Amino acid sequence: MFGNGHKATVDTAPPAGGLNGPTGPALTSDAPLTIDPDRTDWLLPQDWVRFGAVPVQGGLIALSDPEMITRLAVALTGKRGWRAILAVPTAIEALHHQHFGAALARRAETRVPLWLSSRGFGQRISRDRLQMPLLTLSGIMFSVAAPSKAAVALTAWCIFTLLCVTLLKLSCVTASLISRRKTVQPTPLAEDELPILSIMVPLHREAQIAERLVRRMTRLDYPADKRDILFVTEENDTKTREALDRAQPLPEGFRIIVVPDGHPKTKPRALNYALDFCRGSIVGVYDAEDAPEADQLRKVAAAFAAAPPEVVCLQGRLDYYNPRDNWLSRCFTTEYAAWFRLILPGLSALRLAVPLGGTTLFVRRHALEELGAWDAHNVTEDADLGIRLARRGWRTELIPTTTMEEANCRTWPWIKQRSRWIKGYMVTYLVHMRNPFRLVRELGLWQFIGFQVFFVASISQFLLAPLIWSFWLLPFGVNHPVIGILGHEGTIALIVLFLTCEVVNLLTSFVALTGQHLRHLVPWAIFMPLYFPLATPAAFKAAYELALRPFYWDKTAHGISGSED
């Protein structure tokens, strides 16, 4: 068995000679491991981590897994005169962080190719970064020069995008309900068939809920030797690590990964760094406030085993454990119920690109590594990942398992969180539209149209909603320039459109709330028209930050609610 602490011991001798000529049997050593800097360049830092190996003094290479010796020998073809020893995994991982951490952190910032990344927004002059402000400035100049024409043009565009969003929503709800009837639950896997599953939980300034998080992760029903839970913390976040230390000893299969300081300090950068240290063939992500169902990982493993090869991503549902806190938390819960139970399943059923959620997300590791994992500079890295998966021809499916979260129940924190999401949507759209012809080739015409409707129409609705609200002035005798152009028949058609859109929104909420634990929210669904306007100030905040602070991560505060899952 492995030794204790940072001591190196021998359990099995590696093959002598062969492809690379590791010489003789492994040495036995009780000395602490000391890295040999002259041989670290034999492999890339991420490859040393992948093999769970490190070169140490005395012509030795320490490994944590004896089954890796043959694969390591192949990778070190041409490198002779080394011998292998087995060492405690924690000792080797400590050396990885100590000697390769800086290089791995730099790699975490640039894993996604530049042409698909938003990191170009940080350049002094960036075409992407200026597009949205220039369009806004052009609109303002047009409005000043010809206010009536500008009002009519923008209102017409707003009405058109409202129609597009409503048609997409109606299609998603219909497709979701149809596919729900055809869904067959996969057969659970036997214990020996379960894969190793790595779960990353990025934490930043989460000291107040760290101990609660450990308890929630401990409830996951999965074999300890196949459960790889990584609490990913920033180097300067000592308070969170101290809170995790208070939960020590962590259960088997739980680890703390410390991300070296760097820029940008974002969730996707932390995930990219921790990905190299994952052991599993399936990688999942939870947020700090998450409380997943106990059997969730077993459902994920069974769903992947039954899915075709092109399905490389599974998205679980999110729900809230504090909907009764106030009106805002009730509306937020209603919105999420529609999003994760109807809209996202509908997009998947329609074979459109699925903008992923940032948690209860599970991806085959090979797909993540081929894509370059997450864009460290995108503040809505989950939606961007969903589009990049679709561009490679891979599919995302929704699975019927739920993770409980804390609903944002205060107005300003809600606006800050929503502004980050909308800014990320803006960034994601601009990045993927750098080469629209390539995008349509990779997505196909159907998905390309869906991409345009989802992002352009949604962002337009957020920003131009006041133009729709202006029609509420008509009953008070205020003249509207659009009404004069439409005439009587056009005005009637417009009123019918507005009413239809509201009916579709209301029905979507009612259908989403059919679950037994959500039915108490049905009476509150009628107040959703008063909830959605909060996204408009968030959208203007997002547009402002897109121009001036594209990488700023407006962190969501957790632990505000007094409710407990």
Cβ contacts of 353 within 8 Å, gap of 6 or more: 347, 386, 387, 389, 390, 391, 443, 447, 450, 451, 454
Mean pLDDT of 25-43: 75
Helix (H) or strand (E) holding 157: helix 147-182
Q: For position 560, what pLDDT does the model report?
A: 63
Among 94-108, 220-234, 239-253, 351-365, the range scoring the smallest mean pLDDT is 239-253
Helix (H) or strand (E) holding 395: strand 395-405
Q: For position 565, what pLDDT does the model report?
A: 54
Q: What is the pTM of this model?
A: 0.89
Cβ contacts of 277 within 8 Å, gap of 6 or more: 49, 93, 96, 230, 255, 257
Mean pLDDT of 490-496: 86
Helix (H) or strand (E) holding 237: none
> Which of 36, 31, 19, 23 is closest to 84 using CA atoms?
23
CB atoms within 10 A of CB 207: 17
Q: For position 202, what pLDDT does the model report?
A: 96
Q: For position 461, what pLDDT does the model report?
A: 93
**What's the CA gap between 26 and 60, in Å, rounded?**
8
Flag whether pLDDT at 302 surpasses 70: yes
**What's the CA gap between 450 and 419, in Å, rounded?**
23
Report in angstroms the alpha-carbon separations of 341 from 334, 385, 396.
10, 20, 14
Tokens representing residue 450 in the block: 């869906």
User: Do residues 470 and 480 touch, judged by C-beta distance below 8 A?
Assistant: yes
CB atoms within 10 A of CB 556: 17
Work out whether strand 227-234 and strand 8-9 pair parallel, antiparallel, or are unpaired.
unpaired
**What's the CA gap between 466 and 207, in Å, rounded?**
40
Task: Note the pLDDT tens digit of each residue in 319-331.
Answer: 999 999 899 999 9
How far is the first Cα of the chain from the last one, in angstroms, to the nearest whole number?
Answer: 40
Q: What is the dihedral of CA 143, 145, 148, 149, to 10 degrees?
A: -80
Task: Note the pLDDT tens digit of each residue in 153-174.
Answer: 888 899 999 999 999 999 999 9
What single DSSP character describes residue 556? P
